[in-house]
Amino acid sequence: MEFGLPLEDILQKLAEEGYRISRRTFLYYVQLGLLPKGKRKGQKSGGVKFYYPTWTLERLKTILRLKKQGLTLKEIKKRLPREIPSPLPPKTFPQTARLKDCNVCGICGAICPVHEEMDLSPWRLIQAWLEGPDSLPSANTPWVCVGCYLCEERCPREIPVVDFLRFLRREGLPPGKRWRKHPEWSRIFWSLLEERGRSFDFGAVHAYHIRIIGSGENQRLFLRLPGPEGEKEVSAPSKIKNLSAFRRALEHAREWP
């Protein structure tokens, strides 16, 4: 059973990332119901420490960010997810039981179309994960996966390989083991999506390099084409109607872990 982090660790981690908050303020937020209550745990040295779920850290960061934007604590409480996230520790793959059935047959690596680009075959990550998340080697595998589902189609044990890799990419790995966090085109993709509600099809972004000059009404997009055509200007994606409502909803949708 995971107990989470003691208060001291949370404060120290926040300090490392440049947030400043006192112990007293933290406990005040707990009192207000902005943060979850801690669990008592006796120490070997005697005395008692309170442990908080690991997601407290992220939630606290959101609070501090919103506070910086000038919102009051009351307003912040409204904007935070109403329900405190489920008691499941965030780093558990919900279908771990199915991973245990892996026969180490290698069929996922064999059929994978982009296997040559992968540091390790999916089955090796599955085996390492079963050893314990800490023994996961750092590998680019989750980021290389193109999600073609051929492995799941062939797997004799019907293991959800793609879901597992997706989980590793999104939340399963500690930051130090991330292979590549935000490639340039991912950033462009999201900024266009937020600005216009539509984006550039990712195929274009990966096949041609994209260059953006200016912003808002003056924004211009260029594609660098392979071959003699060189660079070509293209129109930006058309906009959807009520962008502010769309952005608000998008922000709202980000709240759930």
Identity of the residue, 203 or 214, whose beta carbon is nearer to another protein in the bound complex? 203
| Matching residue, tokens 């009051």 | 72
- Applying CB under 8 A, does 50 fall inside the site for another protein? no
- Applying CB under 8 A, does 123 fall inside the site for another protein? yes
Closest CA to 139 of 98, 178, 186, 100: 178
Q: Segment 127-166, which members bind another protein (CB under 8 A)?
A: 143-144, 146-150, 152-154, 156-158, 162, 166
List 33, 94, 106, 137, residue binding another protein (CB under 8 A) = 106
Residues 76-105, one symbol each (x = binds another protein by CB under 8 A, - = not), give: ---------------------------xxx
Closest CA to 76 of 93, 87, 63: 63
Question: Segment contacting another protein (CB under 8 A): 5-13, 63-71, 88-96, 237-245?
Answer: 237-245
The residues facing 210 across adjacent strands are 223
The residues facing 120 across adjacent strands are none
- Applying CB under 8 A, does 121 fall inside the site for another protein? yes
Identity of the residue, 51 or 208, whose beta carbon is nearer to another protein in the bound complex? 208
**Chain length of the chain:** 257
List 37, 65, 224, 254, residue binding another protein (CB under 8 A) = 254
The answer to whether the beta carbons of residues 46 and 82 sit under 8 Å apart is no
Closest CA to 207 of 191, 182, 190, 229: 229
Strand stretches in the chain, DSSP E? 5-6, 39-42, 48-52, 209-213, 220-224, 231-234
- Applying CB under 8 A, does 219 fall inside the site for another protein? no
Closest CA to 94 of 3, 5, 18, 166: 166
Residues 170-209, one symbol each (x = binds another protein by CB under 8 A, - = not), give: x---------x--x--x--xx--x---xxxxxxxx-xx--
The separation between the first and the last C-alpha atoms of the chain, rounded to the nearest angstrom, is 20
Closest CA to 124 of 86, 168, 71: 168
List 13, 49, 77, 115, residue binding another protein (CB under 8 A) = 115
| Matching residue, tokens 């935000």 | 182
Identity of the residue, 11 or 210, whose beta carbon is nearer to another protein in the bound complex? 210
Closest CA to 93 of 53, 54, 133, 142: 133
Identity of the residue, 30 or 111, whose beta carbon is nearer to another protein in the bound complex? 111
Q: Which amino acid is at 239?
A: K
Number of residues that bind another protein (CB under 8 A): 67
For binding to another protein (CB under 8 A), which residues are involved?
103-107, 109-111, 113-117, 121, 123, 143-144, 146-150, 152-154, 156-158, 162, 166, 169-170, 180, 183, 186, 189-190, 193, 197-204, 206-207, 226, 234-235, 237-238, 240-242, 245-246, 248-250, 252-257
